Amino acid sequence: MGKDGRTIVYYLSTTSNQLNECMSEDHVKERVEQLRILHIPEGGLPMINLCRALRSKGITATACHFYANRYNFESDVCLNLQETPKHLRDDEIRKYLNKAIKEYDIFHFHFGGTFFPDKSDLEILKRAGKKMVVHHRGSEARLLSAAKSHNRFVRVKPEWTEEKIRKNLSHLSKYIDHAIVLDYEIETYIKEYYEKTHVIPHIIDISKLQPNYPKEKTKPLIVHAPTKRNLKGTEFILEAVEQLQNDGVLFDFKLIEGLDHQKTMELLSEADIVIDQLRIGSAGYLSTEAMALGKPVICYIREDLVDKYPAGFPVVNANPDTILTVLEDLINNPNRWKDLGVKGRAYVKQHHNAAKVVNQYIDVYKNL
């Protein structure tokens, strides 16, 4: 407002606007690069890939596993607590917590775990002025009663009772406002607990998974690699395989269990068709890896969630009731295999590529 009461409008030149934009972009980049984020206490390859993608953006990000794992994932830090007597493990964790408080600003908890089982570290971190986000990935959030209302096939890990899950969610959400989930299936269980939930898909380092598209042949190789047979519906897959082989349908079948991640990927790369899971109702990390390898994937997607996936989602849907006919149809139509594989690879590049997806995580961190 001028002294004479008139409104004064300042017209900035294009050069000035561009300068302001550059200053703004530099400021945002500086803010992002100043982020120091610790990921704990377990998370496997998805957590490791996320940290690598964050570091590619100039962010300090560390993937820390508390225990070694049978898949030989190479995390940035591993406390190897399996080598420490049980009565001394809390002391080792406390030492690492005290060290981490000095080194990191944001604590990203995976699978609903924190430093201690009783979550006492959340109060310590809050008092220290640290920001926190929790990442729910599956069994630690999947409420059986809620899941059954949409999915009669679902099973859960018996150690994760509803009482334990609700107690854990209540405790976490008392201190943490933001929760990240991998898909809308998991979101249905946790959204009532947190102020804000973010659905962000699996991160895949697609450069490390080269496609090997299936060729038409008379005897395809079908692969299934369950982590937990009961949760994945392995029994229905084995029954379908036996029935089809008895009926004279030609194919080879390989069940992959107990191998490290590298060997599992090598075997998946040889497959012509990959079967993921038939019970949970959403596409898991294995589905994404198999699609990145250019494989047609069979997996159960809950009917109410099908439309939640982006257009062009190429997974072949099957559940315990339909796996026999779905698998037989896919085996008998080899002209579909490469087409599904190509679409799967393109889908992962579009929706799971680390270089793209990581920006969604950064947006969450900036708003904590």
The pLDDT assigned to 16 comes to 46
- Taking 50 as the pLDDT cut, the residues of the chain under it are 1-16, 18-19, 22-24, 27-28
The pLDDT assigned to 32 comes to 59
Question: What is the residue whose two structure tokens read 């150690």?
Answer: 159
User: Do 294 and 245 touch, CB atoms closer than 8 A?
Assistant: no
User: Do 107 and 128 touch, CB atoms closer than 8 A?
Assistant: no
The pLDDT assigned to 44 comes to 87
Cα(301)–Cα(34) distance, integer angstroms: 39
The pLDDT assigned to 71 comes to 76
User: Do 172 and 190 touch, CB atoms closer than 8 A?
Assistant: no
The pLDDT assigned to 23 comes to 46
The pLDDT assigned to 135 comes to 97
Question: What is the residue whose two structure tokens read 């561009």?
Answer: 18
Q: What is the pTM of this model?
A: 0.87
Give, to the nearest 10 degrees, the angle between helix 323-331 and helix 234-246: 50
Which residue intervals of the chain are DSSP H helices?
14-33, 44-56, 86-103, 120-127, 144-148, 162-175, 184-190, 229-232, 234-246, 261-270, 285-292, 323-331, 337-351, 354-366
User: Do 345 and 315 touch, CB atoms closer than 8 A?
Assistant: no
Kindly report, residue by residue over 203-252, the tens digit of the pLDDT.
Answer: 999 999 999 999 999 999 999 999 889 999 999 999 999 999 999 999 99
The pLDDT assigned to 151 comes to 95
State the pairing for strand pair 106-110/77-78.
Answer: unpaired
Domains recognised in the chain with CATH numbers:
14-203+354-366 (3.40.50.2000), 207-351 (3.40.50.2000)
Widest CA span in the chain: 95
Kindly report, residue by residue over 49-95, the tens digit of the pLDDT.
Answer: 999 999 999 999 999 999 988 777 788 999 999 999 999 999 999 99
- Both tokens of 209, joined, read 């998974």
Torsion on CA atoms 184, 186, 189, 190, rounded to nearest 10: -90
User: Do 298 and 323 touch, CB atoms closer than 8 A?
Assistant: yes
